[in-house]
Structure 1
Amino acid sequence: MGNWITGTGGNHSAQRTYVMYYGATMKNAQQIKRFGFRRSASGILGPGVYLSCRKEDASRYPRNSRSEKLAVLKVRVRVGKVKRIDHQGHPLQKTWHQRGYDTAWIPPKCGMVAGGTLTPDSDEPFTVKTMANRKYPGRRYYIMYHGTTMACAQQIRLHGFRRSADGMLGPGVYVSRSLNKASRYPLNHGNEQLAFLKLRVRVGKVKRIDYQGHPLQRTWHQNGYDTAWVPEGCGMVPSGLEEDCVYDPSRIEVLEIIPR
């Protein structure tokens, strides 16, 4: 059964983090390590990222790989609240996430998977971490940047940020860990002197938004998140660079004004 344990009430044990495996082509494994997982559209447990606690099980995938070089990703998974799905036609087989669960778990030898192998499914790709590619969550503070005019930078340092009324991720303060990304702002500044604000951001609970039309794209704060995060290379930002939206300006501390 690998690292999986059946807890009381048919759910998973209280331990939150597990080592799991994912089979892919070498090319796809490298892309996943760089940009992260994307949720599959469907499957035996509905949409999600399908993994196993057993390396042997993961090594059976991908199917129909032809002569491509294959690999197994070793990942750390923050499973959250887990639902045991142990028979076909289970009332929550494809709706467990809508009922408040983060991960669905098929135990071994329950008859749902050929060969009796074990298939956990995580609905939220953000909970899945490649072992050598740690991103959010983790540390609570990050150095980020905000591009603006020198006059505005001085006002922000004096009085703090104000939440924008709207934007790609809804209301919030838009910042980036990429200085290159921050350097593209502000737009339409005329001949004003420009500056970067170097910031220390307490990100809190972070929601990954990695495609246009994400159900929480503009409502993440109403669903309990403090920061929305657009990862690099996901197609949401023309530059391909990462972007963050922090709802509460008090989470942001100005460290330095950098003229440019």
Structure 2
Amino acid sequence: RVFHGTKCEHADSINIYGLKASTEGRLGPGIYLTVRDVAKQIAKYRGQGNEIYLIEVELDVGQMKVLPGSNDDRLGYWSAQGYDTCQSIHPAWIVNHPFPEWCVRDSSRLRIIGMQQIG
């Protein structure tokens, strides 16, 4: 299981429509997921310390491209190559250590299994 952290204001939309893909990021367009503690810290950062939601997700990675080390693919070539998911190690950012992240092309590969309000 993996996690996505978000601002409280997005919770209702996620409940109705599911997670929406970002248009850009380290691994190109897609839905970004990581481990629980990191997702929580990212959500706190983006929510400027206000109430946040931690979304627990069951992920079917399908065909997954694993980028070596902390390589990125900002244009999302992995998706054009037919992969469903890309995984890489994100350099230290909000947390002071590298962490795993997954970028998923299509929300049909995700199933939200829990949402927890924090703060």
Which TM-score band (shorter chain)? 0.7 to 0.9
SS at match of 1:242: strand
2:33 maps to which residue? 175
What is the root-mean-square deviation in Å for CA atoms of aligned residues? 2.1
- Tell me if the contact between 1:153 and 1:196 (Cα under 8 Å) persists in the aligned partners: no
Alpha-carbon deviation of 1:258?
A: 1.0
2:82 maps to which residue? 224
- Tell me if the contact between 1:174 and 1:246 (Cα under 8 Å) persists in the aligned partners: yes
- Tell me if the contact between 1:171 and 1:247 (Cα under 8 Å) persists in the aligned partners: yes
| Match for residue 41 of structure 2 among 174, 184, 188 | 184
Alpha-carbon deviation of 1:218?
A: 2.6
1:248 pairs with 2:102: no
- Tell me if the contact between 2:28 and 2:73 (Cα under 8 Å) persists in the aligned partners: no
1:197 maps to which residue? 55
Higher relative contact order (CA 8 A, sep 6+): 2
1:209 pairs with 2:63: no
Q: How do 1:1-260 residues align onto structure 2 when only pairs under 5 Å count?
A: 143-176=1-34, 178-186=35-43, 187-211=45-69, 218-231=76-89, 236-238=90-92, 239-260=97-118
For structure 2, list consecutive stretches of 5 or more residues without a partner in the other structure.
Answer: none
Alpha-carbon deviation of 1:189?
A: 1.7
SS at match of 2:24: coil
Aligned length: 113
- Tell me if the contact between 1:198 and 1:254 (Cα under 8 Å) persists in the aligned partners: yes
- Tell me if the contact between 1:153 and 1:197 (Cα under 8 Å) persists in the aligned partners: no
**Cα separation, partners in 2 of 1:175 and 1:151, compared to 1, 3 Å:** same
SS at match of 1:210: coil
Supply the distance in 1 between the matched residues of 2:73 and 2:29 (Cα, whole angstroms): 16
**Cα separation, partners in 2 of 1:215 and 1:155, compared to 1, 3 Å:** closer
Q: Structure 2-normalised TM-score?
A: 0.82
SS at match of 1:192: coil
Alpha-carbon deviation of 1:216?
A: 8.9
Equivalent pairs: percent with the same residue?
Answer: 25
For structure 1, list consecutive stretches of 5 or more residues without a partner in the other structure.
Answer: 1-142
Supply the distance in 2 between the matched residues of 1:144 and 1:214 (Cα, whole angstroms): 20
Alpha-carbon deviation of 1:151?
A: 2.6
Alpha-carbon deviation of 1:188?
A: 3.5
Identify the structure with the greater strand proportion. 2
